[in-house]
Amino acid sequence: MTTTSPVRRDLAEAPLLAAARGERPTRTPVWFMRQAGRSLPEYRALREGVPMLQACFTPDMVAEVTLQPIRRHGVDAAILFSDIVVPLKAAGIDLDIVPGTGPVVARPVKDEATLDALPELDAARLDPVGEAVGILIRELGETPLIGFAGAPFTLASYLIEGGPSRHHERTKALMHGRPELWHALLGKIADYTLTFLQVQIGAGVDAVQLFDSWAGALSEKDYREFVFPHSQRVLAGLAYAGIPRIHFGVGTAELLPAMREAGADVVGVDWRLPLDEAVRRLEAAAPDAPKPVVQGNLDPAILFAGWDVVEREVRRIHEEGKAAAGHVFNLGHGVMPDTDPAVLTRTVELIHSLR
């Protein structure tokens, strides 16, 4: 896998990239996690009868879904339509995304034999993803494209549990009971993640986000011992590209300083912690570091509460974000499928109107 930096579009003035550098762009940039599809009727029409993983490996469909919220909402960045298990599927792991359930793995990892059975990931298997990025770079003009991948801990939880888990009991049992096996597994997954992101970077994405959806299930001590080294290796392995690295987790208020230390240029914050408090914690943990850049953090459920409530909360979060060197407005997690697209569009317009 080459790590030479690709020729990039000149998007130095794009609000998202300026904010990620800790600057104050002419408007606060906004994009939404899970904006590529889910709540849009045009997405549901396009995806009808097409399984999720098939869609993720169909370049024209990936590009179209990624572009739909740009056309609809006027957000400041596109997020590549994909799924965190795509690199696992590309490697040849037997899994599927079951509607109403999520990723289901046929042979969960539980011992050395199941670990050794995990295949290597040939980057060529990800060519459809790179092709989709190429299409998008030609279509997006001055709008940045964010690539993404699931972080090693979250992918490990699916591989160990065999699917989604409420308490991650098998994951934690293996983590504490078989630490050597655990670190070998996380190292393997970090390789997958790096390859997946490097393919996206090589094809031209302008930023990346590393999602650690389930890291909030861990204490800071466990995170630093069992997860931090592997997420750090992934983020360090992307430094050559010189593009913003966003790191986001759910329920990770106690982990934010460690997640930044792992190599994040932008720290994603969910709705449970006010942005100004997140900034205070980040600064207290690293007083000699540059002032932090944050992303977030409107509760997705607020979008169902009526416009007066949405406007009040958007204005509050926008004000709290001024405590950071830069602020990228986002939800504190993903867009819910039943969200009214018109509310999202109106939210973008409001954010862009604020100074």
Task: Please name each of the domains of the chain with its CATH number.
Answer: 34-268+276-287 (3.20.20.210)
Whose structure tokens read 């069992």? Answer: 226
List Cα–Cα distances, 28 to 18, 282, 331, 351, in angstroms. 10, 21, 14, 7
Structure tokens at 149: 């991948």
pLDDT of the chain along its 355 residues, tens only?
Answer: 444 445 467 898 999 999 999 999 999 999 999 988 789 999 999 999 999 999 999 999 999 999 999 999 999 999 999 999 999 999 999 999 998 898 999 999 999 999 999 999 999 999 999 999 999 999 999 999 999 999 999 999 999 999 999 999 999 999 999 999 999 999 999 999 999 999 999 999 999 999 999 999 999 999 999 999 999 999 999 999 999 999 999 999 999 999 999 999 999 999 999 999 999 999 999 999 999 999 999 999 999 999 999 999 999 999 999 999 999 999 999 999 999 999 999 999 999 999 8
Is residue 303 within 8 A of residue 293, CB to CB? The reply is: no
Whose structure tokens read 């990039």? Answer: 8
Per the annotation, the verdict on 83 as an active-site residue is: yes
Is residue 69 within 8 A of residue 56, CB to CB? The reply is: no
Per the annotation, the verdict on 47 as an active-site residue is: yes
Q: CA-CA distance, 257 to 47, in Å (whole number)?
A: 39
Is residue 129 within 8 A of residue 203, CB to CB? The reply is: yes
| Host H or E run for residue 121 | none
Give 22-54 as a DSSP string: T---SS--B--TT-SSTT-HHHHHHHTT--HHH
- The neighbouring-strand residues paired with 297 are 330
List Cα–Cα distances, 239 to 4, 245, 262, 297, in angstroms. 11, 8, 12, 26
Q: What is the pLDDT of residue 273?
A: 98
Structure tokens at 122: 């040939």
Q: CA-CA distance, 355 to 352, in Å (whole number)?
A: 8
Per the annotation, the verdict on 125 as an active-site residue is: no
Which of 72, 125, 158, 260 is flagged as catalytic?
A: 158
Prior bond to 297 cis, omega within 30? yes
Burial of 189 (0-12, 13-18, 19+ CB in 10 A): buried
Helices (H), 204-266: 220-222, 228-236, 256-261
Is residue 351 within 8 A of residue 30, CB to CB? The reply is: yes
Backbone angles phi, psi at 299, to 5 degrees: -60, 125
Helices (H), 92-126: 112-116
Q: CA-CA distance, 157 to 154, in Å (whole number)?
A: 5
Q: What is the pLDDT of residue 8?
A: 60
| Host H or E run for residue 237 | none
CA angle 252, 257, 261 (to 5 degrees): 120
Which of 43, 47, 72, 233 is flagged as catalytic?
A: 47
Q: What is the pLDDT of residue 9?
A: 74
Per the annotation, the verdict on 281 as an active-site residue is: no
Q: What is the pLDDT of residue 95?
A: 95
Which of 38, 72, 125, 281 is flagged as catalytic?
A: 38
Which of 8, 9, 24, 83 is flagged as catalytic?
A: 83
Backbone angles phi, psi at 145, to 5 degrees: -115, 125
Helices (H), the chain: 15-20, 41-47, 52-56, 59-73, 86-91, 112-116, 127-140, 152-161, 169-177, 179-203, 220-222, 228-236, 256-261, 275-285, 307-320, 341-353
Other CB atoms closer than 10 Å to residue 289's CB: what's the count?
A: 12
Q: At what angle do helices 179-203 and 127-140 cross, to 10 degrees?
A: 40
